């Protein structure tokens, strides 16, 4: 039971709150002397074009700095921070800008910490059993101890994104795409559940100073929650984190798989919770927007409330990979701004790897290479508008929408890197959303 101990601590004071969370659960009790430690934050997405997405989206620099200080206090000198930021793999400037802005380079100067952009490093193939293998970053695999620092957030494909899901950022791009398999059994949740299985010992500290609703990205709803959740057992941390976000772990598929793989229940009956009580600090966080499904339209409810009609933009499923999902929100935003009050002519947009056309649609946009390969010869398509590419080129997306009669503004796609600024602006004058948590002095 000791290894399944989870501490819940209210964040109150720099360093002391993190230390309390770590000490209460015995999180570093199994840390080897002179260990080579790999720290995995969650940065997800970064842009140099505007104020970066932060509160609840990415790990705070406050928790990162405090965790490094704790490791140094225990005599650990070999510390590496590594993250696989979603960007063009050839783009070295964006990860470097992220590490500099978040203060990781200052931590390097002060404590000798190294930083690695995972997409610039080698990968090793790991057999995860049941016929699946993924390629993981070599630095984390060859460390002695992993410190997993995910933010506390819900997720529109996996319900929650916590310790186990955070490790998806350590695999290469083909492996990330493989995780979003169309196989109904060996699906995204099946793959994610195994991400921690072949890792070195992992200590998980979930950073809930800020939490995110309708994650994983900047278009979700951000909250100041002041919580820290820690455990030497990654599954136990995630089971508790899921409850704190208002979601029963038995309804989170990758946690169900992970528990089954370990011969454990999901009801927390074998977890010892210390510190705050779950029921005293839990707060329901919606994991996704609701969808409207009507005779003349299908789309997210916020678009339906505008009166938008004549377009069927089905709810994406878990086969849509990271790279298409980053474009998906932009396409919906562009459609929203393109609406002028006149119904479109039964246009359907299909995404991911599993969707099939609906009979009777006047035009079917196949968004992405996977959709094109699956449906290019489908007999129910009256007019096919294919957007090939993996991921699709934004210019080709604009062209396809225009061909379907949806006059989206090309500037939205050309200035996509500035889009997070639009979502960040609503938090600008709220004092609880502090920039200082993402800086290192």
Residue 144 zone, left/alpha/beta (φ > 0; ψ -120 to 50; rest) = alpha
Q: Is the pLDDT of residue 47 over 90?
A: no
What confidence score (pLDDT) does residue 193 get? 98
pLDDT per residue as tens digits for the range 134-151: 999 999 999 999 999 999
Give me the domains of the chain, ranges plus CATH numbers: 2-287 (3.40.50.11440), 291-422 (no CATH)
Given a cut of 80, is residue 51 above it in pLDDT? no
Residue 421 is predicted with a pLDDT of: 85
Cα 261 to Cα 383: distance, rounded to the nearest angstrom:
46
> CA 254 to CA 159: how far, in whole Å?
9
Residue 2, pLDDT > 70, answer no
Q: Model confidence over 74-104: pLDDT tens digits?
A: 999 999 999 998 777 788 899 999 999 999 9
Q: How far is CA 197 from CA 90, 116, 126, 128, 393, in A?
A: 29, 22, 10, 7, 35
What's the rounded mean pLDDT across residues 323-350?
Answer: 93
Average pLDDT over residues 5-20: 98
At residue 418, the pLDDT reads 85
pLDDT of residue 53: 72
Cα pseudo-dihedral 148, 154, 159, 162, rounded to 10:
10
pLDDT tens profile 385-438: 999 998 899 999 999 999 999 999 999 998 888 888 888 888 988 999 999 999
Lowest mean per-residue pLDDT among 31-35, 336-340, 415-419: 415-419
The rounded distance, in Å, linking the Cα atoms of 287 and 252 is 11
Contact 157, 215 (CB under 8 A): no
Going by C-alpha positions, the residue among 105, 100, 60 that lies closest to residue 226 is: 60
Average pLDDT over residues 6-22: 98
Could you report the per-residue pLDDT of 205-257, keeping only the tens digit for each?
999 999 999 999 888 999 999 999 999 999 999 999 999 999 999 999 999 99
To which residue do tokens 């508008």 refer?
A: 385
Q: What is the DSSP string of 140-171?
A: HHT-SEEEE--EEEEETTTEEESHHHHGGGGB
**Terminal CA-CA length for the chain:** 39
Q: Read off the DSSP letter of residue 393.
A: P
How sure is the predictor about 67, in pLDDT bands with cuts at 50, 70 and 90? Answer: very high
As a whole number, the mean pLDDT across the chain is 95
* Distance set, CA 319 to CA 181, 184, 187, 311, 350 (Å): 6, 10, 8, 22, 12
With bands split at pLDDT 50, 70 and 90, how would you rate the model's confidence at 45? Answer: confident
């Amino acid at each position: 039971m000791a290894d399944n101990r989870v501490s819940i601590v209210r964040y109150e004071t720099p360093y002391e709150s993190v230390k309390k969370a770590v000490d209460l659960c015995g999180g570093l009790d199994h840390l080897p002397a002179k260990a080579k430690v790999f720290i995995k934050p969650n940065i997800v997405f970064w842009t140099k074009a505007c104020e970066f997405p932060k509160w609840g989206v990415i790990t705070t620099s406050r928790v990162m700095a405090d965790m490094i200080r704790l490791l140094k206090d225990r005599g650990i000198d070999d510390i590496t921070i590594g993250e696989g930021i979603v960007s063009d793999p050839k783009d070295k400037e964006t990860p470097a800008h992220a590490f500099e802005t978040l203060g990781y380079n200052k931590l390097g100067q002060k404590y000798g910490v190294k930083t690695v952009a995972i997409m610039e490093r080698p990968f090793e193939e790991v057999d995860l059993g049941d016929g699946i293998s993924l390629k993981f970053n070599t630095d984390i695999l060859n460390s002695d101890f992993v410190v997993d620092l995910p933010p506390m957030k819900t997720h529109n494909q996996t319900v929650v994104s916590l310790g186990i899901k955070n490790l998806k950022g350590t695999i290469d791009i083909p492996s990330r795409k493989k995780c979003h398999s169309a196989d109904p059994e060996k699906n995204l949740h099946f793959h994610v559940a195994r991400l921690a299985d072949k890792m070195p010992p992992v200590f998980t500290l979930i950073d809930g100073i800020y939490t995110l609703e309708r994650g994983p990205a900047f278009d979700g709803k951000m909250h100041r929650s002041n919580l820290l959740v820690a455990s030497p057992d990654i599954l136990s941390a995630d089971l508790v984190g899921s409850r704190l976000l208002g979601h029963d772990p038995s309804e989170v598929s990758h946690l169900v798989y992970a528990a089954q793989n370990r011969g454990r229940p999901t009801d927390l009956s074998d977890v010892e919770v210390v510190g705050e009580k779950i029921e005293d600090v839990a707060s329901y966080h919606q994991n996704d927007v609701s969808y409207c499904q009507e005779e003349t339209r299908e789309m997210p409810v916020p678009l339906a409330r505008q009166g938008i009609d004549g377009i069927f933009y089905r709810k994406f499923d878990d086969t849509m990979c990271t790279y298409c999902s980053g474009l998906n929100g932009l396409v919906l935003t562009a459609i929203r701004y393109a609406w002028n009050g006149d119904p479109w002519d039964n246009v359907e947009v299909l995404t991911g790897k599993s969707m099939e056309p609906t009979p009777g649609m006047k035009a079917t946009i196949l968004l992405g290479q996977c959709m094109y390969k699956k449906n290019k010869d489908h007999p129910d398509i009256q007019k096919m508008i294919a957007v090939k590419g993996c991921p699709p080129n934004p210019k080709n997306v604009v062209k396809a929408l225009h061909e379907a009669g949806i006059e989206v503004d090309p500037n939205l796609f050309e200035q996509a890197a500035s889009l997070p600024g639009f979502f960040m602006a609503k938090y600008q004058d709220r004092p609880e959303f502090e920039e200082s948590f993402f800086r290192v002095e």
